[in-house]
Amino acid sequence: MKKYIYKLSTLCLMLAVSNACNDDFLERYPIDQISNETFWNTENDLAVYNNGLYHLTENHDNVPILMGHSSGNNNNSIWFQDNFSDNFAPFGTGMFQSVRAGRHLVPSSETAQAFGYKGWNFVYAINVGLANYDKAQIPQATKDRYIAEARLFRGWFYWDKVSKFGDVPLLKTTQY
């Protein structure tokens, strides 16, 4: 009888252990943070994401399209950029004079930090939104409005780059 109870309890234990290993249980989205799989559902989600694009334009060193107030006070970026034209009297020598004279060379290093070489994280953020806007369960006309706003930002960003450098790569996906 002891042998029978031992075998039966071992069998029950093995069945319980084999059923306890459910891999689907471990593959859950986090409930304490936003994930790409759970975010794109409502119009509010799309509005929040597009508002984040405006936030990215606050830093005019990275994304100089809106000349944002990154310091929280009055901004002189428009007058600063006027140095590139012939409307401004030159002071000293430097990048502004070489740009006006057509002698400015684009640096070959990936860490170039001046004159609008940065800001590609903005394009990535736009492309993430464009890849996910269709997941929202809202009318297509509403989706189209947010898509158009994101495309406007991307076009504006590329206009700035093309006006400074000529041809630049057009990135339309999040796979770089």
Q: Which domain holds residue 124?
A: 2-165
User: Residue 26: inside a domain, yes or no?
Assistant: yes
User: Residue 175: inside a domain, yes or no?
Assistant: no
CA dist., res. 143 & res. 50, Å (int): 12
User: Residue 176: inside a domain, yes or no?
Assistant: no
User: Residue 173: inside a domain, yes or no?
Assistant: no
User: Residue 124: inside a domain, yes or no?
Assistant: yes
User: Residue 99: inside a domain, yes or no?
Assistant: yes
pLDDT of 94 > 70? The answer is: no
The answer to whether 94 and 140 are in contact (CB under 8 A) is: no
Taking only the tens place, the pLDDT of each residue in 105-152 is 666 665 555 566 678 889 999 999 999 999 999 999 999 999 999 999
User: Residue 122: inside a domain, yes or no?
Assistant: yes
pLDDT of 63 > 80? The answer is: no
* One-letter identity of residue 159: W
What pLDDT shows up at residue 37? Answer: 80
pLDDT of 77 > 60? The answer is: no
Taking only the tens place, the pLDDT of each residue in 139-172 is 999 999 999 999 999 999 998 888 877 888 899 9
Number of domains in the chain: 1
CA dist., res. 134 & res. 144, Å (int): 9
The answer to whether 106 and 116 are in contact (CB under 8 A) is: no
User: Residue 121: inside a domain, yes or no?
Assistant: yes
CA dist., res. 105 & res. 76, Å (int): 25
